Amino acid sequence: MIVHMVRVRLAGPSARLDDVLAFVQRLGVLHVVRPEVLESLTGAAQHARAARHCRRLLDDVEFAYTTLGLTRPPSAPVAPASLPRAARFARRVRRQAAKLAKQKISLEDERVMLLRYREFFSAFESLIGHELAWPDGQAFYVVLRAGAVSAVQELRKSLVKAVGEEIELLDRPLPSGEIAVLILVSNTSAPKVAKLLSESRVQELPAPAGLGEKNLLRAMPALRARLAELPRALETTAAERRRLAEVSGQELTALRTWLHDQLLVIDARAKVHAGKHLFVLEGWLPEVQREQLTTLSGKELGPEIVVEVLATEQWQGDNAPVALSNPPLFRPFEVVTRMLPLPRYGSIDPTPFVAIFFPAFFGLMLGDVGYGLMLAIIAVVLRFKSKPGTTLRAVSAVGGACAAGSVLFGVLFGELFGNLGHVVGMKPLWFNREEAIVPFLALSVALGVVHITLGLVLAVITSWRRGKTREALGRSVAVLMVLFTVVALLAAFEQLPRALFTPFVVALLVAFPVLIALEGIVALIELLSTFGHILSYARIMALGTASLMLAVVANKMVGAMGSVVVGVVFALLFHLVNFAIGVFSPTIHALRLHYVEFFGKFFSPGGVEYRPLSTWRDHQKHGT
Amino acid sequence: MELALLSVGAALAVGLPALATAWAQGRIGPAAAASLAEKPELATTTIILIAIPETMVILGFVVAVMILLRGGGAG
C-alpha cells in the first residue's frame, strides 16, 4: 500500500529558521521540497559555500576516521565550540593519521622485500669466501629461473668465450628451485661481463637501496639487522595509531555525526524560501503524522511558527513522495517491488499481490517436498545470518515463503525428490504432474487468466482514480472481452454448456467496436498481446514438468550405474544440480511473469522515494 | 512410421525454438553484460530481457508435448 501523504507549509520569522529546521530534523517525518509557487529566495550561493566548507571538513574527518580504523557507531552530535578550531583539529588528525598509515605501508613493503631476499642470503652467503679471495675482482650476482641447469653451462661458455679464463662461476640451488649464480671477474673484464649479462637479459640481483652498500654480500649483515628491527618498528607505528585513535576518537566521532547532520540541514535549507523577515518551508509527511507535527510544533516552536496543511487541490498528486507500508507478512515482498523503480504516488502498490502470487507460482514450478525443505533450510540460515531490516532478511523471508509454497504443492502433487515420494507411500492429493500434463497446462493458463485479469482490473482502478474515465471504461471493456473469450473457448471445448458459446461470441463482437471507439486501434494490439501474456503462463507447467523429469532421471541413476553406491552418489549430485536449477529458474520466471505480464497492465513507475529530513543516525539506522 | 514422424515433429517443435532462443539470448547476453558494467542498477531489466526469449522454447515445449499426447507417443 502506498502511504497517504499530506503537504504542509511551515512559515515564520526568518530568525527562527534554524530552530524550525532543528525541530523538523529531530521529528524526522517531513520530506522537504522546494515550494513551487513562490519566487526563489533561497540564497543558493550562500548555501553552496556552507555545504562546501562542511564537506571539506567532513572529508578530513572521514579520512582520519577510516585511516585510524575507528568503528564506533554514530554518537550524539556535538556542535564544536569553535568551527575553525574543529577544522584545525580534523586537519591535524588527518595529517597524523596519513603519516602513520604511510609509515606502516612503507615498513610493510620493506619487510616483504627483505623477506623475498632472505632465501637468497643463505645461498650467496656460502659463496662469500670466494669473493673475498679475489679482492681485486668484481662480483655479479644473478638468479636463473627454476629448471635452467643447462643455462648455467651456457652462461659459463658464453663468459669464457667473451673474457677468456679470467672468470670464476659458482652456482647454488635455491629452495624455490631457482639457481643462485656468483660470477667473479677481474676489473678489466667486468664491463664485458656486465654487457653480456645485459644482452642475455640475465637480471643481476641488486642490494636493496638505502643501506649504503651496493654489494649484496657486504649488505647482508645490515639487511639481517633491519629485518629483525622491522616488527618492532611496525608495532611502534600501530601503538601510535591506537593512541591517536584513543585520544581523538571521541571528538572525531561526535564531530562526524554533527557534520553529517549539518549537511542534511544545509540540503534542506537550500529548499526553503527565506527572505529578510520571513521563511516558508514546505514538505510532505504521512497523513497519520500530521497531528504529531502540528501539536509538537505548537509546543516546541510556539505560536510564531504557522503550520498549514495544504488542500489536495493545491498540489499535484504525482509529485508526492512514495512510502510503501504493508502488513508484516507482505513487507518482505517489497524487495521484489523495489527491484523496479517505485510506483508513482496515487497508483497501486503491487506488493500484496506479489506476496500471494510469487510463492504460489514458485511452488507450482518447484512443487517438491524435498527441494522445498532444502530451500527452507537455506532460508533459515539466511535469516540467522542477516540483520533485521536488511535486504538479506527480506530475501530470507521471501525464500521461506517460496519454500512453503514448494512443500505445499509437493504434498498436493505427491512429490518428494521427484517420484521418490511414491516409494515411501506418498500419494498425490491433487494430481500427478508426471502423468497429468494437460490438466497442469490448463491450470497454468487458468492462473494466467486470473493474474492478467486482476492486472487489468487494477489498471481500471488506477485510471479511475486519476480521473481518466474514458481510459477506465476502455480497460473495463478489455477485461470483459478477455472473460468473454475465456467463456466462449471453454464452451467450445465443452467444459461449459455449449449453449453459452454463441451468446458470448456475440457479446465479443459487440464489445470489439466499443473498445476501438474508446481506446483506438492500439487497443486491438494490446488485447492480442494480453492473450499472448496469458499463454505465457504455460511456462509454469513447462518448468514444473522439466524439474520433475530431471528429478525422475536422477532417481533412475541409482539402478542404472551397476553399483548402488555409485548410483546413489550420482543421483545425489544430480538432485543437487536439479535443486540449483529448480531454485534459480522458477525465481527468474516468477519475476518475469510479474514484471512483464502482470505489472505491465497497471504499474506506473517513476515515484520519488519518501526521504524525510532526519538525523544522520536515523538515516544509518534505516539504511537510507 | 507415424510414431517416428510424430517424434520428429515434436523434436522440431522444441528444437527450432530452442535454437532461436539460444540465438536471441546469445545476442542479449553480451549487451546486457556491457550495460551492467556501466549501470549496475539495470540488473532487473537485464534479467527480464534475457528471460523474454525463453517464451519461444517454453511454448515449443508445450506444443511438442501436445503433439506427443495427441499421437499417443507419451505417457
Report pLDDT digits (tens) over A420-431.
888 888 888 888
**What is the count of structural domains for chain B?**
1
**Chain A to chain B, count of Cβ pairs less than 8 Å apart?**
43
When CB atoms are compared, the residue of A339, A437, A589 closest to B65 is A437
Instruction: Report the alpha-carbon distance of residue A32 to residue A280 in Å, rounded.
Output: 11
Dihedral angle sign, alpha carbons of residues A457, A463, A469, A472: negative
When CB atoms are compared, the residue of A438, A542, A595 closest to B58 is A542
Measured at the alpha carbon of residue A343, what is the angle toward residues A337 and A345, in degrees to the nearest 5? 145
Instruction: Report the alpha-carbon distance of residue A460 to residue A93 in Å, rounded.
Output: 62
pLDDT at A124 over 70: no
What residue in A sits closest to B14 (Cα-Cα)? A542
Q: Hey, are the CB atoms on B62 and A538 less than 8 Å from each other?
A: yes
Q: How many of the other CB atoms lie within 10 Å of CB of A287?
A: 12
A340 touches chain B (CB under 8 A): yes
Q: Hey, are the CB atoms on A437 and B69 less than 8 Å from each other?
A: yes
Domain that holds residue B61: 27-75
Which of A337, A339, A603 to probe by mutation at the B interface, max B CB count within 10 Å? A339
With beta carbons under 8 A apart, name residues in chain A contacting B69.
Answer: 437-438
On whether both A360 and A219 belong to a single domain, the answer is no
Q: How many of the other CB atoms lie within 10 Å of CB of A522?
A: 9
pLDDT at A130 over 70: no
Kindly state the percentage of chain B with pLDDT values over 90: 37
With beta carbons under 8 A apart, name residues in chain B contacting A435.
Answer: 75
pLDDT, average across residues A514-543:
90
Instruction: Report the alpha-carbon distance of residue A242 to residue A69 in Å, rounded.
Output: 9
Instruction: Report the alpha-carbon distance of residue A300 to residue A23 in Å, rounded.
Output: 8
pLDDT, average across residues A496-506:
90
With beta carbons under 8 A apart, name residues in chain B contacting A588.
Answer: 47, 51
Instruction: Report the alpha-carbon distance of residue A555 to residue A445 in Å, rounded.
Output: 30
Instruction: Report the alpha-carbon distance of residue A477 to residue A488 in Å, rounded.
Output: 16
What residue in A sits closest to B64 (Cα-Cα)? A542
Cβ contact B20:B53 at 8 Å? yes
What's the 3-state SS for A560-616?
Answer: HCCCHHHHHHHHHHHHHHHHHHHHHHHHHHHHHHHHHHHHHHHCCECCEECCCCCCH
Q: How confident is the model at residue B75 (pLDDT cuts 50, 70, 90)?
A: very low
Distance from CA of B20 to the nearest CA of A (A): 17
Burial of A493 (0-12, 13-18, 19+ CB in 10 A): exposed
3-state helix, strand, coil in chain A (%, to 5): 65, 10, 25
End-to-end CA distance of chain B: 19
Q: How confident is the model at residue A14 (pLDDT cuts 50, 70, 90)?
A: confident
Instruction: Please check whether residue B47 lies inside any domain of the structure.
Output: yes
Domain that holds residue A139: 116-228
Instruction: Report the alpha-carbon distance of residue A466 to residue A343 in Å, rounded.
Output: 14
Distance from CA of A452 to the nearest CA of B (A): 17
Instruction: Please check whether residue B37 lies inside any domain of the structure.
Output: yes
pLDDT, average across residues A52-62:
88
pLDDT value at residue A211: 59
pLDDT at A311 over 80: no
A263 sits in which H/E element: helix A216-269
Q: How confident is the model at residue A131 (pLDDT cuts 50, 70, 90)?
A: low
When CB atoms are compared, the residue of B44, B47, B55 closest to A536 is B55
pLDDT, average across residues A72-94:
81
With beta carbons under 8 A apart, name residues in chain A contacting B48.
Answer: 591-592, 595-596
* pLDDT tens-digit map of A611-622: 888 887 777 666
B65 touches chain A (CB under 8 A): yes
Q: How many CA atoms lie within 13 A of A51 on its CB side?
A: 14
Q: How many CA atoms lie within 13 A of B44 on its CB side?
A: 14
Closest to A167 measured CA to CA, from A149, A181, A180? A181
Instruction: Please check whether residue A310 lies inside any domain of the structure.
Output: no
Instruction: Please check whether residue A203 lies inside any domain of the structure.
Output: yes
On whether both A413 and A545 belong to a single domain, the answer is yes
Cβ contact A588:A234 at 8 Å? no
Phi (first) and psi of residue A409, to 5 degrees: -70, -30
pLDDT at A121 over 70: no
Instruction: Report the alpha-carbon distance of residue A45 to residue A25 in Å, rounded.
Output: 23
3-state helix, strand, coil in chain B (%, to 5): 90, 0, 10
Q: Hey, are the CB atoms on B54 and A591 less than 8 Å from each other?
A: no
Distance from CA of A339 to the nearest CA of B (A): 6
pLDDT at A376 over 90: yes
pLDDT value at residue A226: 82
pLDDT value at residue A197: 82
With beta carbons under 8 A apart, name residues in chain B contacting A596.
Answer: 48, 52
pLDDT at A371 over 50: yes
Instruction: Please check whether residue A197 lies inside any domain of the structure.
Output: yes
pLDDT at A480 over 90: yes
Q: Chain-wide mean pLDDT for chain A?
A: 84
pLDDT, average across residues A255-266:
87
Give this prediction's pTM: 0.74
When CB atoms are compared, the residue of A542, A588, A589 closest to B62 is A542
Measured at the alpha carbon of residue A367, what is the angle toward residues A547 and A353, in degrees to the nearest 5? 115
A138 sits in which H/E element: strand A137-144
Residue with the bigger pLDDT between A422 and A384: it is: A384
pLDDT value at residue A396: 95
Q: Hey, are the CB atoms on B47 and A588 less than 8 Å from each other?
A: yes
Distance from CA of B59 to the nearest CA of A (A): 7
pLDDT value at residue B74: 47
Q: Chain-wide mean pLDDT for chain B?
A: 85
Q: Hey, are the CB atoms on B51 and A536 less than 8 Å from each other?
A: no
Instruction: Report the alpha-carbon distance of residue A326 to residue A331 in Å, rounded.
Output: 5
pLDDT value at residue A560: 73
For chain A positions 423-482, those within 8 Å of chain B (CB to CB) are: 435, 437-438, 441
B63 touches chain A (CB under 8 A): no
pLDDT at A212 over 60: no
Instruction: Report the alpha-carbon distance of residue A455 to residue A299 in Å, rounded.
Output: 47
* pLDDT tens-digit map of A586-619: 998 999 999 989 998 888 888 888 888 888 777 7
Q: Which residues of A116-149 are buried (b: 16+ CB within 10 A; e: fewer)?
A: ebeebbebbeebeeebeeeeebbbbbbbbeeebe
pLDDT at A76 over 80: no
Kindly state the percentage of chain A with pLDDT values over 70: 89
On whether both A354 and A208 belong to a single domain, the answer is no
Q: How many CA atoms lie within 13 A of B11 on its CB side?
A: 6
Instruction: Report the alpha-carbon distance of residue A610 to residue B6 in Å, rounded.
Output: 59
With beta carbons under 8 A apart, name residues in chain B contacting A585.
Answer: none
Kindly state the percentage of chain A with pLDDT values over 90: 27
Instruction: Report the alpha-carbon distance of residue A382 to residue A401 in Å, rounded.
Output: 13
Contacts made by residues A15-19, CB under 8 angstroms, sequence distance 24+: A16/A279, A16/A301, A16/A304, A16/A305, A17/A269, A17/A272, A17/A274, A17/A279, A17/A281, A19/A301
Instruction: Please check whether residue A289 lies inside any domain of the structure.
Output: no
Distance from CA of B42 to the nearest CA of A (A): 9
When CB atoms are compared, the residue of A539, A591, A596 closest to B58 is A539
Instruction: Report the alpha-carbon distance of residue A360 to residue A152 in Å, rounded.
Output: 73
**What is the count of structural domains for chain A?**
2
When CB atoms are compared, the residue of A435, A441, A591 closest to B47 is A591
Helix axes A351-366, A369-385, angle to 10 degrees: 130
Instruction: Report the alpha-carbon distance of residue A118 to residue A115 in Å, rounded.
Output: 5
What's the 3-state SS for A453-502?
Answer: HHHHHHHHHHHHHCCCHHHHHHHHHHHHHHHHHHHHHHHHCCCCCHHHHH
pLDDT, average across residues A320-347:
89
A536 touches chain B (CB under 8 A): yes
DSSP string, A503-544: HHHHHHHHHHHHHHHHH-THHHHHHHHHHHHHHHTHHHHHHH
pLDDT, average across residues A10-31:
87
Cβ contact A618:A264 at 8 Å? no
Cβ contact A375:A403 at 8 Å? yes
Q: Hey, are the CB atoms on B61 and A542 less than 8 Å from each other?
A: yes
Distance from CA of B58 to the nearest CA of A (A): 6
pLDDT value at residue B59: 83
When CB atoms are compared, the residue of B47, B48, B58 closest to A538 is B58
Which of A365, A431, A432, A437 to probe by mutation at the B interface, max B CB count within 10 Å? A437
Q: Hey, are the CB atoms on B47 and A541 less than 8 Å from each other?
A: no
With beta carbons under 8 A apart, name residues in chain A contacting B47.
Answer: 588, 591-592
Helix axes A538-560, B54-70, angle to 10 degrees: 70
Helix (H, G, I), strand (E, B) or coil at A322: strand
Instruction: Please check whether residue B41 lies inside any domain of the structure.
Output: yes
Instruction: Please check whether residue A419 lies inside any domain of the structure.
Output: yes
pLDDT value at residue A307: 87
Instruction: Please check whether residue A106 lies inside any domain of the structure.
Output: no
Distance from CA of A319 to the nearest CA of B (A): 23
Question: Which residue's C-alpha cell is 639481517?
Answer: A224
Q: Hey, are the CB atoms on A592 and B58 less than 8 Å from each other?
A: no
pLDDT at A220 over 80: no
Instruction: Please check whether residue A330 lies inside any domain of the structure.
Output: no
Strand partners, A278: A13
Instruction: Please check whether residue B20 lies inside any domain of the structure.
Output: no
pLDDT value at residue A19: 87
Residues in contact with A248: Cβ distance below 8 Å, sequence separation at least 6, in sequence order: A64, A68, A89, A93
pLDDT, average across residues A481-509:
90
pLDDT value at residue A466: 82
pLDDT, average across residues A340-368:
92
pLDDT at A133 over 70: no
